[in-house]
Amino acid sequence: MITRTRIAATAAVVALAAALAGCAGGTAPSTSSAAPLGSVETMFGTVDIPQPADGDLTVVALGWSDAETALALGVVPVAVFDWQGFGADSKGVGPWATSLFGDTVPTIIDRGDESLNYEQIASLDPDVILNTRSGNDEAEFQRLSEIAPTVYGPAGTGAYATEWRDQVALVGAALGKKAEATALVTDVDAQITATAAANPGFSGKTVASVAKFGDAYGAYLPGDGRFDLLAELGFVNNPAITALPSNGFFATVSVENVGALDASTAVVLPLGFTAAETKADPLLASLPVVSAGRAVFLEPGTELAGAWGASSPLSIPVVLKELTPLLATAAA
């Protein structure tokens, strides 16, 4: 099984990216005077990516699923940040994407002290840095931009909430792959549409996209790729969940409010527990959606759990293939 210690709720993810530490600066790579390879509109303004002087684009992929998105567009990053802990054997991406690296062994970027290793990134002499699904920290953006043109998410996007289609468009524009990005989105959209059409029983049924971590519970909301895919398949958020206080794309669910998770169907992602341990949780077990067998419990460390969290154009087809039959049984 694949260890993923970094799939977490918003609070845990934001804590991972919040602290910044100053490191020695790097020198931006030399580029030619040709027309820009790409120009991207981001939350921090327009970012131009010059043509690489040597003709070979050197890409460092830092954002959640940025590496998978670049790979899907035919560009192999020299370095990745392994958000989900897939590990060096998987080259820092989901196993569905590993083979796209070919013989390239990417550098795994460190964040041992909760701050990016800027010296390590600068030593790679990148032409462009991708950080499109991240904590949106402007100080981090400024520091990375001293090393190379750096692409963040669109204006108005919350932390770690860049929608996968926007991510594909941003990465495609940055890498000079706009046409390929459009085609990729069209292909994955067609797969989602076909899956929804083949499962009309999903339409209109309430759903809870649940996380259990420590002694707490939570629900993913619109803006999170996990919930958004369920919505595109026809499910609607349980009204009791929408009434809860939220933090971005996640609502913490207190013990007193666990009943809000009792939707027609639920998908439960344990964080730090096995699926069996989570099923045995007394509060969850008391919910009719669980006791009636209408909940899908994902086993941490499996390909499906990793794909569920990645929300990339390469992982979504994996989720459609593996999760849909489980949902169909639960929603029957």
Helix (H) or strand (E) run with residue 304 in it: helix 303-310
Is 174 domain-assigned? yes
- Do 182 and 230 sit in the same domain of this protein? no
Tell me the pLDDT tens digit for each residue of 39-69: 999 999 999 999 998 889 999 999 999 999 9
pLDDT given at position 8: 38
Helix (H) or strand (E) run with residue 251 in it: strand 250-253
Alpha-carbon Rg for the chain, nearest whole angstrom, is 20
- Do 326 and 228 sit in the same domain of this protein? yes
- Number of structural domains (the chain) is 2
C-beta atoms surrounding 277 within 10 Å: 12
- Do 222 and 144 sit in the same domain of this protein? no
Is 1 domain-assigned? no
CATH number of the domain encompassing residue 45: 3.40.50.1980
- Do 165 and 280 sit in the same domain of this protein? no
pLDDT given at position 215: 84
Is 73 domain-assigned? yes
Intervals of the chain under pLDDT 50: 1-32
- Do 216 and 180 sit in the same domain of this protein? no
Among 217, 291, 292, CA closest to 261: 217
- Do 103 and 235 sit in the same domain of this protein? no
- Do 79 and 184 sit in the same domain of this protein? yes
pLDDT given at position 7: 35
- Do 327 and 235 sit in the same domain of this protein? yes
Is 2 domain-assigned? no
CA distance 271 to 117: 26
- Do 208 and 176 sit in the same domain of this protein? no
CA distance 125 to 54: 12
- Do 245 and 302 sit in the same domain of this protein? yes
Is 285 domain-assigned? yes
pLDDT given at position 4: 36
Is 183 domain-assigned? yes
pLDDT given at position 119: 94
Span between the terminal Cα atoms of the chain, in Å: 30
- Do 62 and 203 sit in the same domain of this protein? no
Beta strands in 131-194 (DSSP E): 150-151
| 311 three-state secondary structure | coil
The pTM score is 0.88
Looking at 142, 158, 190, the residue that finishes a domain is 190
Q: What is the DSSP letter of 29?
A: P
Looking at 140, 162, 190, the residue that finishes a domain is 190
Is 3 domain-assigned? no
- Do 101 and 227 sit in the same domain of this protein? no
Domain with 173, as residue range(s), is: 10-190
Looking at 146, 166, 190, the residue that finishes a domain is 190
Is 186 domain-assigned? yes
C-alpha triplet 201, 206, 212: angle, nearest 5°: 120
CB of 285 closer than 8 Å to CB of 277? no
